[in-house]
Amino acid sequence: MCGKTKKSDSRGRVELHCHLDGSLPLETVRALTGRADLTLEDLQARPDCGSLKEYLEKFDLPLEGMQTREGLVRAAADFLYSLKEDAIRYVEVRFAPMQSVHPQLSCRQVLESVLEGLERAGKETGIDGRVIVCAMRHHSEETNLKMMRTAREFLGQGVCALDLAGDEASHPVKEFRRLFAEAKKLQFPFTIHAGECGNVENVREAVALGASRIGHGIALRRDPGFMETVGRLGIGLELCPTSNFQTRAARPEDYPLETFLRARLAVSINTDNRTVSQTTLSRELELASRLSRGLGDERLFTENAVRTAFLDDEEKEELLGKLEIS
């Protein structure tokens, strides 16, 4: 379902690529860190941000407030509450559990806390929030494996998939073959951040490892032949336009959205980090509609998001029905 469609008349939106720590409301970060003097500028990347590495520095402050069970519960709940104004009905929110683990807080407790917050807010908002756990590129292999095995126990109980995040330029996907081989063995679905820093080989590696989706995947534009393979396999591309501009993954004038849609790739549009990138899904969808030069609209991107979500077929059809695009 990657062709041109009519303008959306859906009752809600779907987001697949959104980081919890990069999307917390300012008041939440103030409360969790005890720093009432924080401003949005402290949490947001500059419009002329120079690189992915610089962009990632904006995660430090929110993470300070995500070091207790209570802080994690509130962070997850406040995040979900903040989505209501953006008409979100289903979201796969990702975070790195090991970033909150310390002697007083185990990986299991971290996961339980975030899931508790999502469940609590979900009952009040009607938003279905699932968790994608992130292995971190700068963590050791054993640390990532331990996290993955613990998170796998929560699959189907709020956790829906695994991801790899962090400084892609310093740690290419090939360094994590063992992690994803083990995930595949355990039947733990996964997406991988790849191709955000211009390296198409990382996208090839992610596909070879069995990724169901690719986070960003901008570098895929450099390999039309492999683009056909990605389309044939039905692998989803999680694009985040504003973030991609800030991290210098692409410029607006040569953003590959139109190219990907002409290749009939299953592109979804996402925020990446609502607070860090000063954006909402509404804004990203409007931006994507312009960047696609008439080939895509909100209905198409929402449909693609549902079709590539980490849901079973019955859940996807139910969600499509709720959105009135079935």
Give catalytic residue positions.
Answer: 196
Angle between helices 298-308 and 281-291 (to 10 degrees): 110
State whether residue 100 is helix, strand or coil.
coil
Token reading at 293: 């030069």
Q: How many residues does the chain have?
A: 326
> How far is residue 137's CA from residue 139's CA, in Å, rounded to a whole number?
6
The maximal CA–CA distance of the chain, rounded, in angstroms, is 53
Angle between helices 107-125 and 69-83 (to 10 degrees): 30
Q: Which amino acid is at 178?
A: R
- Buried residues in 208-241 as b, exposed as e (16+ CB within 10 A): ebebbbbbbbbbbbebeeebeebbeeebbbbbbb
The rounded Cα 92 to chain-centroid distance in angstroms is 7
> How far is residue 292's CA from residue 287's CA, in Å, rounded to a whole number?
9
Give the strands of the sheet with 266-269, arranged side by side. Answer: 191-194, 213-216, 236-239, 266-269
Given CA atoms 183, 185, 190, 196 in this order, what sign does their dihedral have? positive
